Chain A
C-alpha cells in the first residue's frame, strides 16, 4: 500500500509484469480490511499514511494470529534513517527498502522473501514497541513538515523575487496591466498603468476613466473596440493616442484577451497597455525621411527628363545647323538664317541651364526660419512691386482673409507663390476684360485653404490637365512664357507641406486652391 496513487499504480504494474497478483490499498486501515477478505502472500507497505501508518500495520499483522505468517516489506521515502530501519525490523518487517529503489531490487526482495522464507518463526512484538514506533513516526512527520516549511519559504522568496523583476521589467518596458472581473464588474489597473496615464492611485479605474485620458479623435474607435470586446469576447489589440501627464500627446498599444470558466462563460477581460511613444515617433520620423527621399528621387527623374529632352533639343539643332553650314555653296540668306538659329539654340540651352539652377535653388533655400506671415501684408507688398503692371493692365485684386489671416510658414516661399499666381492671372488675362483677381482664405477642419480665382483665359484641362504643373508644359503657346512658373509654385507649395490643385474653364477663368495642413 501507498497513499500516493501514481506510485501505487506504478508498483502494481511492476509486480504484475513479474507474474504476481496484486491488490492495492491507499491506507493501512484499508489494507487490514483487505487482509480479512483475500488470501495474501506478502505485504509491501509505505510508512507515512493517513490513518494507519506502516509501523502500526506491521504491528497489527504480527499481533494477529491469522496474519502473523504473512511477510511484510517496508518501502519508505520519508523514514530512511538506520533507526527507522531498525524499528521496522523490530516491529516484525522482513525487509526494509528505501525509496526510490530500482524495480529489480524491489522484485528481488519479494522473490527472496517468498522463496527463502524465514529461519525463525514470527514473534509478537512487545506493546512498548508500538509506542516507540509511534514516537519515531511522529518525529519523522515533524522533520518532514520542517523540510516542507523550508521549501515553501524558498518558493515564497522566489515568487517575491520574480514579482519584483516583473515590476522592474514593466517599468523599463513602460508596460501596465489591467483586468476587469466581468462577473462583478470590478476593474483593476496595475500601479504602472496608473503612473503611465498620470492617474491618482485613489481614482477608481473604469472604462470611462480610460476614455477620459484619450486623445479626442481616438475616443470613438476605442469605444467601439471596447464594446466589441465585451460583445464578442475575442482577443484583439489596437493602437491609440492619449494625453500624458505633462499634457503631451503619447502613443499606446493595448492587447487583451478573455478568460472563460468551465461552462465557457466569460469571467475576466485582461490585458496589457504599453507606452510606444518612442517607437511611434521614430516611425513617424522614418516615414518623413522616406517621403523626402521619394521626393528627391522624383526630382532626379525630373532632372534626367530635362536633360534628355529640353537640353538635348537645342543641342540637336546646333549639330544640324552646323552640319549644313559646313557645306559650301549655300546662299547668303540661308546662311544668315542658320547662324541666327545657332545663336537662338545656344541661348535656349543657356536658359535651360539657368532654369535648372533656379529649380535646384528652391530645394536649397529651406534653411530659412519659419515665421508668422500675414496674407494681407504679402499681397500689399506684391501690389507695390508690380504697381506699373497692375496699372497698365487695369487689374484689380480683391482679398478676403477674414477666415484665416496669417500662417506660420516660410515667408519667401509664400511670397513667391502669391507673386507667381497673381502675375500669371494678369499675364493670361482675357484681352477684352480687365483682370480681376480674388484671393480668399478658408478654414476647412484643421486645414488652411487659400483660393486664387481670376477671370482670365482659363486652361483647357480636359486633355492635359495632369500636365498643368509639369515642367516646360505650355498651354498658351502664343503668349511668351517658359512653362516653369507653375512647376516652381507646385514645388514651393509641397516644400511648405501643402497641396495645390486647379479648376478652370476656357474664357471664364481659373481657380487655384492651396491647402496647408496644420
Chain B
C-alpha cells in the first residue's frame, strides 16, 4: 500500500471537521493534506474531479447522519465511480452512533474499510495511515 497523502472528511458538523483537521495535523505533523466537506454532494464532485487522474492514496472519513444526503446514500453514488478512483480511496464510516446496526451495516458494505466511533483519536489516525 502506498503512503497516505490525503485525508478527506465528509461531515455536516463543522466542529467535528475542525477537530479532525487539528488532530490529523497534530498527529502526523503536517505530512498529509486534509480536505473537509460539510456537503456530501460537494465531496462527491471533488472526488470525481480530483481523482480522475494520477495516484493519490486517501483516507475518506464519512459521517452517516447528514440532512441532505446520508452516508449510505453517499456510498450508493460512490459505488458508481470508476474502479481507478475507488482504488485510491479507503473509506471509513465515522459516526457518533452507538447503534450496533450502523456498525453492522458498515461492515457489510464491500467498499467500506471499517467503522470508527467518534471522536477520532490520535492512535486511530496513526493506524489508518499505516493501513
Find the B residue at minimum CB distance from A329.
Answer: B26
A317 touches B16 (CB 8 A): yes
Per-position 1/0 for A472-483, Cβ under 8 A of B = 001101000000
Which one of B12, B65, B119 lies within 8 Å of A323 (CB-CB)? Answer: B119
Cross-chain contact B65 with A309 (CB below 8 angstroms): yes
Q: Does B104 contact A (CB under 8 A)?
A: no
A477-B40 Cα distance, complex, nearest whole Å: 14
Quick check: which of A63-71, A231-239, A338-346, A364-372 contacts chain B, the rest being far away? A338-346
Q: How far is the CA of A241 from the CA of B19 in the complex (A)?
A: 68
B119 touches A334 (CB 8 A): no
Report the bound CA distance from A315 to B97 in whole Å: 10
In the bound complex, what is the Cα–Cα distance between A327 and B22 (angstroms)? 11
Q: Which 9 A-B pairs have the closest CB atoms?
A: A320-B119, A316-B118, A341-B15, A316-B96, A320-B19, A308-B99, A313-B96, A312-B96, A477-B67
Q: CA separation between A321 and B13, bound complex, in Å? A: 13
Q: Mark B78-110, 1 if CB is under 8 A from A, else 0.
A: 000000000000000000111100000000000
The answer on a CB contact under 8 Å between A309 and B19 is no
- Tell me whether B50 is interfacial, beta carbon within 8 Å: no
A417 to chain B, nearest CB (A): 25
Known: A308-B97, A309-B97, A315-B96. A327 touches B26 (CB 8 A): yes
Contacts A308-B97, A308-B99: A320 and B67 contacting too (C-beta < 8 A)? no
- A-facing residues in B101-131 (Cβ within 8 Å): 117-121
Cross-chain contact A316 with B119 (CB below 8 angstroms): yes
Other-chain residue from B15, B26, B98 in contact with A345 (beta carbon distance below 8 A): B15
- B122's nearest neighbour on chain A, judged by CB, is A323
**10 extra A-B contacts, CB within 8 A, seeds A317-B19, A323-B119:** A308-B98, A313-B96, A319-B119, A320-B20, A320-B23, A320-B119, A321-B15, A338-B22, A341-B18, A477-B67
B45 lies within 8 A of chain A by Cβ = no
Whether B96 contacts A309 by the Cβ 8 Å rule is yes
Min distance, Cβ B96 to any Cβ of chain A, angstroms: 4
Partner of B23, one of A304, A323, A337: A323
Residues of A within 8 A of B13 (CB): 313, 317
Residue in A320, A324, A475 whose CB lies within 8 Å of B118: A320
What are 11 residue pairs bridging A and B, where the CB atoms are less than 8 Å apart in the complex?
Answer: A305-B99, A309-B96, A313-B118, A316-B16, A316-B119, A317-B13, A317-B119, A334-B18, A334-B22, A475-B67, A477-B67
Asked if A313 contacts B15 (CB within 8 A), the reply is: no
Chain A 341-360 interface 0/1 with B at a Cβ cutoff of 8 Å (1 = within): 10011000000000000000
Scan B12-53; emit 1 where CB is below 8 A from any A CB, else 0. Answer: 110110111011001000000000000000000000000000
Binding site for B on A (CB under 8 A): 304-305, 308-309, 312-313, 315-317, 319-321, 323-324, 327, 330, 334, 337-338, 341, 344-345, 474-475, 477
Closest residue on chain A to residue B63 by CB atoms = A313
B-chain residues with CB within 8 Å of residue A316 when the two chains form the complex: 16, 96, 117-119
In the bound complex, what is the Cα–Cα distance between A312 and B99 (angstroms)? 10
Give the A-B pair count, Cβ closer than 8 A.
Answer: 69
Known A-B contacts A313-B13, A316-B119; the reply to A338 vs B99 at CB < 8 A is: no
Give the interface SS of chain A, mostly helix, strand, loop or mixed. Answer: helix
B116 to A: closest C-beta gap in Å = 11
With A317-B13, A323-B121 known as contacts, the answer to whether A338 contacts B96 (CB < 8 A) is: no
Interface size, B (range): 20 to 34
Residues of B within 8 A of A474 (CB): 67
How far apart are the CA atoms of A475 and B68 in the complex, in Å?
7
Contact B23–A324 (Cβ < 8 Å): yes
Most-contacted residue by chain A among B13, B97, B119 (CB, 10 A): B119
CA distance A474 to B70 in the complex (A): 12
Residues of B within 8 A of A319 (CB): 118-119
CB closest chain-B residue, reference A334: B22
Chain B residues contacting A323 (CB-CB under 8 Å) are: 19, 23, 119, 121
Is the pair B67, A344 in contact by a Cβ cutoff of 8 Å? Answer: no
The answer to whether A312 and B97 have CB atoms under 8 Å apart is yes
Measured CB to CB, the nearest residue on chain B to A344 is: B15
- Identify which of B12, B22, B67, B99 contacts A324 (C-beta below 8 A): B22
Which residues of A sit under 8 angstroms from B120, Cβ to Cβ? 320
In-complex Cβ contact of B65 among A313, A337, A345 (8 A):
A313
User: A334 contacts which chain B residues (CB < 8 A)?
Assistant: 18, 22
A315 to B118 Cα, complex, angstroms = 9
Closest A residue to B26 using CB positions: A327
- Of B15, B20, B22, B67, most A-chain CB atoms within 10 Å: B15
A271 to B129 Cα, complex, angstroms:
82
Are B99's CB and A317's CB within 8 A? Answer: no
A148 to B59, CA, bound (A): 106
Q: Which residue of A lies closest to B100 (CB)?
A: A308
Interface residues of B in 57-79 (CB under 8 A from A): 65, 67-68
B118 / chain A contacts, CB cutoff of 8 Å: 312-313, 316-317, 319-320
Bound state CA distance, A319 and B118, in angstroms? Answer: 9
Which residues of chain B are near A477, meaning CB under 8 Å?
A: 12, 67-68
Shortest CB-to-CB span from B106 to chain A, Å, is 14
Q: Write the chain A residue with the least CB distance to B98.
A: A308
Contacts A320-B118, A324-B23, A327-B26 given: A309-B99 contact, CB under 8 Å? Answer: yes
Q: How far is the CA of A324 from the CA of B122 in the complex (A)?
A: 10
**CA separation between A70 and B58, bound complex, in Å?**
127
Q: How far is the CA of A345 from the CA of B19 in the complex (A)?
A: 13
Closest residue of chain B to A320 (Cβ to Cβ) is: B119
Q: How far is the CA of A334 from the CA of B98 in the complex (A)?
A: 29
Residues of A near B68 (CB, < 8 A) are: 477
Closest A residue to B101 by beta carbon equals A308
Residues in chain B near residue A327, CB distance under 8 A: 26
Which residues of B lie under 8 Å from residue A313 when comparing CB positions? 13, 65, 96, 118
Distance to closest chain A CB from B68 (angstroms): 6
B19–A324 CB distance below 8 A: yes
**Residue numbers in A under 8 Å from B96 (CB-CB):** 309, 312-313, 315-317
